[in-house]
Amino acid sequence: MRIVTGEEMASIDAITINKIGLPGVVLMENAGREIARRLIDLYGMEKRFLLFIGKGNNGGDGFAVARMLKEQGVSVLTCIVEDEAIFEGDAKLHKRVYEQSGYRWRYWKEMNRTWSEVLCEVDVVVDAMLGTGLRGAIREPYTSIIKKINLADKEIVSIDLPSGVPAGEAEMEGEPISADRTFTLQLMKLSYYLEATKPYYGEVETLPIGIPPATMNHLEAQRCVWGKDEVVNSWVKSNPFAHKGSNGRIGVIAGSQQMPGAAALSASAAIRGGAGLTTVGTVSTAIQTVATHVKEAMYTAFSEQSGLIAPTEEELFAFYEGKAAIAIGPGIGRSTRIKAMIAHAIEHYTGILILDADALVYVSELHDEVKKRRSPLVLTPHIGEMAHLANESVDVVKQYRFTIAETYAQTYQAHIILKGPHTIVANPNGGMTVNHSGNAGLAKGGSGDVLTGIVTALVARQPLETALSTAVFLHGHAADLLINQGFSINSLTPSDLIEGLAEAYKLCE
């Protein structure tokens, strides 16, 4: 499913109406029917509804919902927010149909006088005030009404968007509706995936309103949800005659004297993640520790300096030999020799190169080398690392994570896995996916090392772009399954996660 901004949704609506020829009033009728059906499913026939109607098309949806609820005998109070509001187009037609059906509405100004009595008569507030047409700071009378609704201690259901929440990356200006539930129409809205705006949505359900997929081909940004269906449908089954070599020879350059664990986590995750042959390149002291935990891997002891790897050029070329993918970063630490190694890999390694953690620190100093690279490069930053790469503040990256990941991926022709809740995968061709698995149990040192292992294993045996999105999904899915099996969010560990992959991978098999 696509993820869109308000402007993109408006262009899709316009193509549906003007080119495909499906009138806007039909879309509104569809929205009304779907929402009324879901409201009755969820709350039953006995609950009393109060609908707030804005003067744009979001309000038009509201009239359609109110009419359909009333037709079925449900109790509905309908309130037009703006005094003397002039309705136009599709919203005007739905207002007229509502009125001609014999149903009444009141203005807010009048309802406000008896607000406490009104509240005693209703159970659920339905917010059809502002949708994708919101521009700038929330104005009166919406500001005061939103405040009153939020304070009313009633169940709140928003249509399309919680009123006052922008659909895209624009910053929120003013207090929006704090919904318990949002029925978003046809496509997911981008602000659902942003830290500042997601909490206002409550539970989200996407309802179809009859917009054909052909109306979306013109969109420059190709953002899609990556969930179970996408994982299963894109999975390329392994050949039953596969051997360890054909299942992917990969390398993990990770760990140091101080941090051998990072190498163990990445390597075990790669092995559990399906890699045929995994070689770990690290310092000799780490090998002793890691090898007792990761028995299936092979090991290369690199030259070292002060407890950190400092591989020679010969050692690096030998390590690259025959490997479909190599990940560099977890626990390697920082030094000029490490920077030289990253530069070398970017320039000379011709397989799929994955850079994570400490390796990312040097990428912003190696942007010229990155631009010259012709083989695939995957970067796996969390928000802080992305801020460093893009030379922006963490707050800016949080607010504009889609734009920043997309721009970076296109500028440097790199695949970006921007981690966090709803991890984004941005590909150099402009395609982006947003992950729908995972939970706060992953917010623990080492979870990223596990992801790197899974990514490295999968890119060696699945098509690159789907491998990245699927690796992110399976990482989160393993965490979700463990929580369902009774693990607590607080005590979940990256090692549990690696064990959990066995169950998570069943989805694909």
What φ, ψ does residue 377 adopt, rounded to 5°? Answer: -125, 130
Of the candidates 339, 335, 293, 300, which has an alpha carbon nearest to the alpha carbon of residue 316?
300
Residue with tokens 């169950």: 503
Give the residue with the Cβ less far from K ion, 200 or 412: 200
Contacting ligand ADP within 467-506 (CB under 6 A) = 475-476
63 binds ligand NPW per the rule CB under 6 A: no
CA distances, 133 to each of 8, 69, 102, 195 (Å) = 11, 25, 29, 21
The stretch among 125-133, 245-253, 329-337, 365-373 that binds ligand NPW (CB under 6 A) is 125-133
Interaction of residue 54 with ligand NPW, rule CB under 6 A: yes
The answer to whether 282 touches 301, Cβ cutoff 8 Å, is yes
Rule CB under 6 A: which of 349-388 touch ligand ADP? Answer: 382
Region near ligand ADP per CB under 6 A, out of 50-58, 146-154, 276-284, 442-450: 442-450
CB of 58 to ligand NPW, least distance (A): 3
Q: CB of 192 within 8 A of CB of 2?
A: no
Are 412 and 367 spatial neighbours (Cβ–Cβ below 8 Å)? yes
* Pick from 327, 322, 352: nearest CA to 269: 327
407 within 8 A of 397, measured Cβ to Cβ: no
Instruction: Name residue 184's beta-bridge partners.
Output: 206
Shortest gap between Cβ of 167 and ligand NPW (angstroms)? 8
Residue 158 in contact with K ion, rule: CB under 5 A:
yes
Q: Tell the smallest beta-carbon distance from residue 60 to K ion (Å).
A: 12
> What is the chain's Cα-based Rg?
27
Q: Which residue, 91 or 417, has its beta carbon nearer to ligand NPW?
A: 91
Map residues 34-63 to x or -, x wherever contact with K ion holds by CB under 5 A: ------------------------x-----
Angle, helix 494-504 to helix 260-272, in steps of 10 degrees: 10
CB of 338 to ligand ADP, least distance (A): 17
* Secondary structure letter of residue 442 according to DSSP: G
Q: Which is nearer to ligand NPW, 173 or 392 (CB)?
A: 173
Taking CB under 5 A as the rule, does residue 184 contact K ion? Answer: no
For 32, 36, 328, the CA distances from 43, given in Å and listed in that order, are: 16, 10, 52
Q: Is 139 in the site for ligand NPW (CB under 6 A)?
A: yes
Could you tell which of K ion, ligand ADP, ligand NPW, none binds residue 158, using a CB distance below 5 to 8 A set by kind?
Answer: K ion
DSSP string over 250-303: EEEE---SS-HHHHHHHHHHHHHTT-SEEEEEE-HHHHHHHHHH-TT-EEEEPP
Among 414, 451, 467, 468, binds ligand ADP (CB under 6 A): 451
**What b-and-e string marks burial along 68-81, b requiring 16 or more CB atoms within 10 Å of the CB?**
bbbeeebebbbbbb
Among ligand ADP, ligand NPW, K ion, none, what does residue 382 contact (CB within 5–8 Å per kind)?
ligand ADP
Check binding of 178 to K ion (CB under 5 A).
no
Residue 268 tokens read as 């075990």
447 contacts ligand ADP (rule: CB under 6 A): yes
Question: Beta strands 415-418 and 424-426: pairing type?
Answer: antiparallel
Q: Which is nearer to ligand NPW, 61 or 385 (CB)?
A: 61
> Rounded to an integer, what is the distance from CA 438 to the centroid of its chain?
10
- Of 249 and 477, the one with the shorter C-beta distance to ligand ADP is 477
Residue 131 binds to ligand NPW (criterion: CB under 6 A): yes
Using a 10 angstrom Cβ sphere, with 0-12 exposed, 13-18 middle and 19 or more buried, the burial of residue 191 is buried
Is residue 434 a contact residue for ligand ADP (CB under 6 A)? Answer: no
DSSP 2: B
Q: Which is nearer to K ion, 164 or 420 (CB)?
A: 164
Residues in a beta bridge with 222: 431
Distances (CA, A) of 422 to 147, 416, 437, 492: 29, 14, 7, 19
What residues contact 9, with CB distance under 8 A and at least 6 apart? Answer: 132, 167, 187, 189
Helices (H), strands (E): how many in the chain?
Answer: 20, 21
Using the contact rule CB under 6 A, the part of the chain among 231-239, 333-341, 426-434, 436-444 near ligand ADP is 436-444
Compute how many residues bind ligand NPW; rule: CB under 6 A: 28
- DSSP, collapsed to helix, strand or coil, labels residue 104 as coil
Residue 191 interacts, among ligand ADP, ligand NPW, K ion, none and using kind-specific CB cut-offs from 5 to 8 Å, with none
Is position 138 an interface residue for ligand NPW (rule: CB under 6 A)? yes
One residue of 163, 266, 268, 399 binding K ion per CB under 5 A: 163
The stretch near ligand NPW (CB under 6 A) out of 52-60, 119-127, 229-237, 356-364 is 52-60
The 178-197 contact track toward ligand NPW, x by CB under 6 A, reads -------x------------
Residues 400-429 interacting with ligand ADP (rule: CB under 6 A): 419-421, 423
**Under the criterion CB under 6 A, does residue 34 sit at the interface with ligand NPW?**
no
Rounded to 5 degrees, φ, ψ at 102 are 95, 15
Q: Which stretch binds ligand ADP (CB under 6 A): 16-24, 250-258, 304-312, 437-445?
A: 437-445
Q: List binding-site positions for (6S)-NADPHX.
A: 57-61, 131-137, 142, 160, 262, 331, 382, 449
Residues making contact with ligand NPW (CB under 6 A): 13, 24, 27-28, 31, 54-59, 61, 90, 130-139, 142, 159-160, 185, 209
Residues making contact with ligand ADP (CB under 6 A): 382, 419-421, 423, 438-440, 442-443, 445-449, 451, 475-476
Residues making contact with K ion (CB under 5 A): 58, 127, 158-159, 163
